[in-house]
Amino acid sequence: MQNNSKSFDIQADKIKPPITSVGIIGWLKQNLFNGVFNSILTIVTLFFLWKVIPPLLQWIFIDSLWLTTSAECRSADGACWSIITQNYRFILFGFFPYESQWRPLSAIILLVFLLLISRNRKLWNKMLLYAWIAGLLCMAVLMKGGVLGLVSVESAQWGGLPLTFLLAVFGLTAAYPLGVLLALGRRSKMPVIRVLTIIYIETIRGVPLVSLLFMSAVVFPLFLPEGITVNKLLRAQMAIILFTAAYIAEVVRGGLQGIGSGQYEAAASLGLNYFQTMRLIILPQALKIVIPPSVSILISAFKDTSLVVIIGLYDILKTTQSVLANPLWMGFSTEAFLFLSLIYFICCYAMSNYSRQLEKELATK
Amino acid sequence: MPKDKSLSPTSQSENSIPFWHDPAKRAIVFQLVTFLVVALVSYYLFTNTVTNLKRQSIATGFHFLDKEAAFEIGESLISYSAANSYARALLAGMLNTLKVAFIGILLTILLGTIIGIARLSSNWLVSRLAAAYIEFFQDIPILLQLIFWYAVFYDSLPSPRQALEPFPGLFLCNRGLAFAIPVPHPAHFYMGIAFLIGCIGVLLLRSWAKKRQDLTGKIFPVFSSGVAILIGFPLAVWLGFGAPTAMSIPELSGFNFSGGMNVSPEFTALLLGLVLYTAAFVAEIVRAGIQAVSKGQTEAALSIGLKPWQTLNLVILPQSLRIIVPPLTSQMLNLTKNSTLAVAIGYPDFVSVANTTINQTGQAVEGIAMIMVVYLFFSLLTSAFMNWYNKKIALVER
């Protein structure tokens, strides 16, 4: 027994690879210096990084100021993060009454919490759906107020991050059912319905979101009879919903096309009618296929909410711009926009990571 | 009566089915109802709009197009002044959109391909950097990127007097970008013609070489000779004109640069934002396209004796292009649609000019309709191209 293991050890010693192909050196050789071209590429890249990264880090961390006035910032070399620390309440919450800003904050926390528990696919059941409905209602109450002793806050005063989240989440929730209906309409055998949905989907997908937002801002009020007005936020939200629904319709249509005709035939032979077939057989399968691309649509809807700046809504980009318009903080746009980029990056990165993870999970099943 | 019914069982079963149980009849009713609802809603909205316009005494129709625009446009490819009509202002805006879209698409494909290939590099550092680029630029809204680049111009860059000069002849300052260009010379015109003739020549050469290869099996070096023709022919013309080398170099005069080529900060910021953002998506498309062609294809091509460039040209590219081109076209369309965000940084593109027109004339319906029609036209054109291309390259299956 002992002999045996000893001989094994000796053999293992014999076939040990050369030192240059294992460990750090081996890794470096294989991944950075395999061949002349790659070696040159590595050296050039390293030189470039060495030129860029240290000064950048110095600017961001070492020379930077965090909790100062703007006057002190102007005489410093580094980044002026004070613009964020001094104005973060306005950037994040806009014109929401200062003493009530815990309300949008708790609305955001509630939303993030719901999103986090929704990550786990094992929890996807009716309870979660009710939790979402309750959560969204709760958020609406927190934002709007007027009940339970909360001071009522007009939607014109909503702003910053809650507005961005609100537009994206409500936009997608309302757009999804509409998108599914449009997708079913586009695959319908009835020519009138098919043509109408095709016209709608292709028109919306063919025009930029900006034109729809302009339309919601200036043309939509003309559509309504005299005396009836819809506030600007709701109009912008409608534009986003109508826009997103067309994209969702195309994604869902892709999923529907992936369902074999045998499924339809089997459902028909069981005597199910159209609505039963769709609700019980086709849509559950089709919607499962399109979960990953739906997350991508959520990401672009989230990014697209920044466009409401153009029609003058105070989302997080607009609040930042108004801070920068203040003569006190003028000129620190790089810092302010980097901070915003970080917020957007964290949100979108979390979502796209989740989408990739889902894709892996769903692919094996 | 009851007797008749029992005598003809077929007609009985047809008659006894109520129309709401007959799918064909039900479909007709359903479609009629849908159509009526859509028509009624449209009519309702239309009458509301007409009354509202009358009440606010806003003119309707496109007569405003002939009126004097009375606003300036920052930059334009055609001569334009505030005294020109709205129609000409909109045309100038449209050309500005086409300009940024055309240059943007060329640069995006170039940068996106480079990054996509870098992402697949066996060099760990390069591949990681490309991945970081793709993730970072995809995850930040394009509008934020545009506003950021524009802010870099007016906040961070120095005035023309202290302009940065990263390369000799290229100046960067808060008034935009200025770089040296050759002084206009008649030779340039003839060089352009020579290049066009060269292009036709290369096409002819290619078809001749293919015919000869089909007949005799001999391969003619089309690529190297083609490049030689395309470069050599204009070069010969240039030398024939005595090789004019005079350059117009930007020089500081007063508060700005004169001479050379001046590019406004708005245009530069818009182009930079659009290219950097879209290139991240194009890189992913290119990577996916290349990865989709299995390694066995390369190995098989090499094993039957094709040279590496032939493998790339005859085996890999035709297959990956089939995967790359459709999503690539839609990204190009996205770039064109995203160029409407120029309105946020003050570049006078079509939407920006149309927006000013709406504000001045109050004719929002017509203005928005024009914007939609123009972009819809681009998008239908693109999908027509895509359908044609898909048909052309579709796999011919046995």
pLDDT tens profile B230-247: 888 888 888 888 777 777
Judged on CB neighbours under 10 Å (0-12, 13-18, 19+), B131 is middle
**What pLDDT sits at residue B392?**
80
A153 token code pair = 């806050």
Q: Which residues contact A70 (CB under 8 A, 6 or more apart)?
A: A80, A82, A83, A86, A328, A329, A332
CA nearest to B379 within chain A: A206
Of the two residues A225 and B147, the one the predictor is more confident about is B147
Identify the DSSP state of B78.
S
Question: What type of residue sits at position A191?
Answer: P
DSSP string of A40-106?
Answer: HHHHHHHHHHHHHHHHHHIIIIIS-BSS--HHHHHT-SS-BTHHHHHHHHHHHHTTS-GGGTHHHHH
Residues of A in contact with B155 (CB under 8 A): 331-334
Whether residue B147 and residue A190 make contact (CB cut-off 8 A), yes or no, is: no
Residues B302-326 as b/e (b if ≥16 CB within 10 A, e otherwise) read: eeeebeeeebeeebbeebbebbbbe
**What pLDDT sits at residue A55?**
86
Return the percentage of chain B with pLDDT > 70, whole number. Answer: 94
B214-to-A299, B208, B209, B219, B302 alpha-carbon distances in Å = 52, 10, 9, 9, 21
H or E stretch at B167: strand B164-167
Whether residue B379 and residue A206 make contact (CB cut-off 8 A), yes or no, is: yes
**What pLDDT sits at residue A7?**
52
Interchain contact B219–A (C-beta under 8 A): no
Mean of the per-residue pLDDT values for chain B? 85
The pLDDT averaged over each successive group of 10 residues in chain A (365 residues) is: 52 67 79 82 90 87 79 78 84 84 88 86 82 88 79 81 89 92 91 92 92 90 81 91 94 88 91 89 87 87 90 89 86 89 93 86 67
Choose the closest CB to B340 out of A34, A206, A210.
Answer: A210
Place of tokens 């500081």: B252
Residues of A in contact with B30 (CB under 8 A): 190, 193
Query: Considering only CA atoms, which of A215, A103, A116, A213 is closest in space to residue A148?
Result: A103
Distance, in angstroms, between B268 CA and closest chain A CA? 17
pLDDT bracket for residue B15 (50, 70, 90): low
Question: What type of residue sits at position B195?
Answer: F
Please give the model's pTM, rounded to 2 decimal places: 0.86
B252: β partners: B257
B171: β partners: B178
